[in-house]
Homo-oligomer: A and B are copies of this chain.
Amino acid sequence: MIYLTRKEHFNAAHQLYNPDWDIAKNQIVFGKCANKHFHGHNYDLYVTVKGLPDKETGFIMNVKELSQIIKKEVCLLLDHKNLNLDVLELKGVMVSTENLAVFIWQKLLPHIKGCQLHSIKLYETENIYVEYYGE
């Protein structure tokens, strides 16, 4: 079993704010991340697939095809967007890095063929990242 990883990125605005709470509680829990007018990040996304190398190509999966799937299924949806307002499928979801990683897993899973999706690693800043293995 070999693991192949491709890095892509997207830049987005977001806000952590729970509408069931008042402003004061949001401030206590989320601090600056609750800012009414949003803030933003350069997200770095690492997608890992696993499988056996094909005899004729030496590839688990053509990494250019993997790159195109990530760009089409994830970056097109999230890049230069407001994660709270612009992404229909994230309406009502707290857009924490944790939930975003799970969301990206679900978007990619149906499109990885001939090998298996192994993990999503999502950097919010160079000091914070989340990993999800689908289980």
Chain A interface residues (CB < 8 Å from chain B): 1-9, 11-14, 16, 18, 20-21, 29-33, 35, 37-42, 48, 53, 56-60, 62-64, 79-82, 85-86, 93-99, 101-102, 125-133, 135
Contact = CB atoms under 8 A, between A and B. Distances in A.
Oligomeric state, in copies: 6
Given A80-B32, A129-B5, A131-B2, A53 B96 contact: yes
Contacts of A96: 53, 57-59
A61 to B, nearest CB: 10
Given A57-B94, A79-B32, A37 B131 contact: no
B39 A11 contact: yes
Contact of A12 (B3, B39, B133): B39
Contacts of A60: 98
Contact of A5 (B9, B57, B131): B131
A135 B52 CA distance: 10
A13 B37 contact: yes
Contacts of A32: 79-80
